């Protein structure tokens, strides 16, 4: 399955001038979200797990949790995965695929401890972990690549992630919290 975050916009109004100064929004659980340097606004992220069933048009959301948009993706990913595995007994899932936003040594080890193969893109500038560029811009921690896999095997498996994202791209994921109806 694949892990993808979406931002759901919330209410960025303030109760009064003091609340604005303190950046205390009318919705106290919402957080100010940014993604790749782009300001998305106040809201929530849906921490999603999608199952891949053989083609881009056969991906299904299997679990999600809503978190403040300013939450750190790594602990949110681990908590979402932990909660999901508790609800499903976790036995049928073999691999989890993430982009580099969810990369951390702790998340990689968490996956292994939960009998999941972590196919998580590494950041290109890591100095303390063994990484290799398998194709332009695609780095992976070589400690977590099965020894019998070729580079082509890794890239073929990782190609599932863009297929899942493409299947979800038609879904509108930005809502005003007053109209959060889906």
CA atoms of 82 and 74, how far apart (whole Å): 12
| pLDDT, tens only, 104-160 | 999 999 999 988 889 999 988 888 999 999 999 999 999 999 889 999 999 988 888
List Cβ neighbours of 166 (8 Å cut-off, separation of 6 or more). Answer: 56
Which pTM was predicted? Answer: 0.76
- If we measure between CA atoms, which residue out of 173, 182, 181 comes closest to residue 41? 173
């Amino acid at each position: 399955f694949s892990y993808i975050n979406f931002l759901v916009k919330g209410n960025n109004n303030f109760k009064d001038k003091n609340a604005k100064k303190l950046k205390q929004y009318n919705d106290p659980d919402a957080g100010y979200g940014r993604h790749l340097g782009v300001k998305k606004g106040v809201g929530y992220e849906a921490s999603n797990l999608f199952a891949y069933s053989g083609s881009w048009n056969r991906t299904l959301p299997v679990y999600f949790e809503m978190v403040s948009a300013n939450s750190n993706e790594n602990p949110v990913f681990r908590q979402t995965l932990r909660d999901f595995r508790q609800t499903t007994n976790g036995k049928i899932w073999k691999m989890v695929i993430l982009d580099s936003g969810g990369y951390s040594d702790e998340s990689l080890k968490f996956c292994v401890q939960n009998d999941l193969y972590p196919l998580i893109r590494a950041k290109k500038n890591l100095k303390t972990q063994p990484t290799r560029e398998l194709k332009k811009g695609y780095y992976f921690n070589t400690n977590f690549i099965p020894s019998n896999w070729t580079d082509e095997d890794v890239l073929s498996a990782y190609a599932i992630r863009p297929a899942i994202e493409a299947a979800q791209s038609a879904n509108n994921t930005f809502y005003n919290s007053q109209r959060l109806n889906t």
